[in-house]
Amino acid sequence: MEYTKLLKDLTLLSGVSGNEKPVRKFMENELKDISDNMLKDNLGSVAFEFKGTSCSPNILVVGHLDEIGFMVHSVSSKGLIKFTNLGGWDPRTLMSSPVEIINREGEKIIGLIGSVPVHHLKDTSGKLSIDDMYIDIGAESPEEVREIFKIRKGDFIVPVPHYALIEKKNIMISKAFDDRVGIAIAIATGKHFKDKNHPNTIFCAGSVQEEVGTRGAQTISQLIKPDIAIVLEGSPGDDFPTNKEEMQAKMNAGVQIRMIDPTMICNPDLVNFAIDVAEELKIPYQLAVRKSGGTDAGKIHVSGLGVPTIVLAAPVRYAHSHNGMLSLKDFQATLDLTIALIERMNSDFFLELIK
């Protein structure tokens, strides 16, 4: 697939919430020279403008730059590193996982996540929480942690990826598909429209700090003042054997068009439009009614006077853990629908949406 390398490169970057610079720099390298304008908010979100034949509507196409990670909390008398989470992790997935602590000199220190023995757990049922865990970097004292490894409180910690491609099925294994999928689509969308005529102004963007409360979404919507927004996600897959009837995100079933989650009701006309376009172009799609979770769309759609917004996603199995699985077919469907929607938008379309 054309975008295999782009996705691979993006997932291997370290960009936990609050420390997204490597991902932003990557996006700049891809889009700065081919866009008409680069805009930044003061938190680190970035947007690239692609002018069309009309200055309105402003269409924001946005993924989030950040991934979930951790931060150094404290160091024990034995030189073990206690940590706190940035974003939502499933603690069951953490034991024995390799992580990298980025020290103040930018050096990456490898370590393994360990835990107190099971009979010493705080929860007597044996349930493990992040408070029971530590990172073992091989140090034997706080002095070694400080002097040899140059690690201090507040250093960011990123998961170590295990990249692989299951070529027989076109399925990629890596970390941070949530939301490097969105960033890859924002980049590919910019490249698609760079030499094309379209009656809109497109902003392909990456927001910061989505995983800790959609904070960059707030500032980037003030920066762009979008008329319409397309929010792109790697959405948790739920296509497991027990759950067939209630499934909302099945791998290999195409782009997920989200109707609702606790942070937003998607604009129904925009949803119907997306369904019609997907059917017209035979792009595989699936609908999702989400009872939990939320995205940048939650903040973006209530910015200004309100922004008709839609969330498109590729399902990611085992999201919010060290490794996920993504079908490249779902990625392609999400990209195809994003481009097709923008190609069919113009100012009349926008005025119809807000009628």
Footprint on this chain of Co ion (rule: CB under 5 A): 178-179, 233
| Shortest distance in whole angstroms from residue 64 CB to Co ion | 6
CA-nearest of 291, 288, 280, 290 to 337 is: 280
Structure tokens that stand for 249 in this block: 């995100």
| Shortest distance in whole angstroms from residue 173 CB to Co ion | 18
Nearest CB to Co ion, comparing residues 20 and 179: 179
Nearest CB to Co ion, comparing residues 189 and 295: 295
| Shortest distance in whole angstroms from residue 52 CB to Co ion | 28
- Angstrom CA distances, 15 to 12, 25, 60, 206, 310, stand at 9, 11, 22, 12, 25
CA 21 to chain centre: 14
Mention every residue, 6+ apart, whose C-beta is less than 8 A from residue 279: none
CB 183 within 8 A of CB 23: yes
* Catalytic site includes residue 144: no
Choose the catalytic residue: 20, 30, 49, 210.
Answer: 210
Cα 167 from Cα 77, distance rounded (Å) = 47
CA-nearest of 222, 194, 196, 176 to 63 is: 176
Nearest CB to Co ion, comparing residues 313 and 345: 313
Nearest CB to Co ion, comparing residues 146 and 320: 320
| Shortest distance in whole angstroms from residue 67 CB to Co ion | 8
Residues involved in catalysis: 210
